[in-house]
Amino acid sequence: MATPEDTRDIAHDIDAFKQAFRRLAAGVSVITGRTPDGLPVGFTATSLASLAAVPPMASFNMARVSTAWPAIEGTEHVLIHMLGSRNRAIAERMSGRHEDRFNGDHWQPGPAGLPLLKDVPAWMLGRIIGRHPHHGNAVVVVQIQDGALGADDEALLYFERAYHRLHPLD
């Protein structure tokens, strides 16, 4: 079906590229770490993906101007949290004002002293085994060293700049 949108050039039209990726729904996760100075940092991510099960590895993407980049560049470990629909407030907090992200009782010190979010469906301790810079951004690869499953939940999704839940297609 032809629409006026069809003519937009994704490679040179930033808005068209962003719109294309908005059409890809994504699960929501939060990555946390500590800077070499010990400050807790973290951010909501929609790029977390499994890389392999043997050995267990995962990847996520980030900007190298991000406040969390010093933790990725200068330390060895991060915590990865899969969010459920009960965790929406955490997703919003961890993508909001930096000074508010660790202001509350939604986290506690976890493995390796890293900020561990409470009451998430799953979390993992990742050892950083790859930092692959591309222009101002980087793909980060971790090998999973620890983790646990929490109480199950409906998935939390991000699509077209809003949070969503799922329902089965059939």
**Which 93-112 positions form the footprint of a copy of itself (CB under 8 A)?**
none
Q: 97 by DSSP, 3-state: which?
A: coil
The residue within the footprint of a copy of itself, chosen from 66, 67, 95, 137 (CB under 8 A), is 137
Cβ 74 to a copy of itself shortest distance, Å = 20
Cβ distance to a copy of itself smaller for residue 41 or 62: 62
Rounded Cα–Cα distance for residues 81 and 28 (Å): 9
Q: Quick check: 128 binds a copy of itself (CB under 8 A)?
A: no
Half-sphere exposure of 170 (CA within 13 A, CB side): 0
Cβ 73 to a copy of itself shortest distance, Å = 17
Site for a copy of itself in 34-63 (CB under 8 A): 46-61, 63
Q: Quick check: 31 binds a copy of itself (CB under 8 A)?
A: no
The residue within the footprint of a copy of itself, chosen from 75, 102, 128, 153 (CB under 8 A), is 153
116: CB partners within 8 A, 6+ apart: 32, 79, 81, 107, 108, 109, 110, 123
Structure tokens at 56: 């267990």
Cβ 71 to a copy of itself shortest distance, Å = 19
Cβ 45 to a copy of itself shortest distance, Å = 9
Q: Vertex 139, ends 134 and 145: CA angle to 5°?
A: 155
Cβ distance to a copy of itself smaller for residue 8 or 67: 8
Q: Which residues are paired to 79 by β-bridges?
A: 32, 125
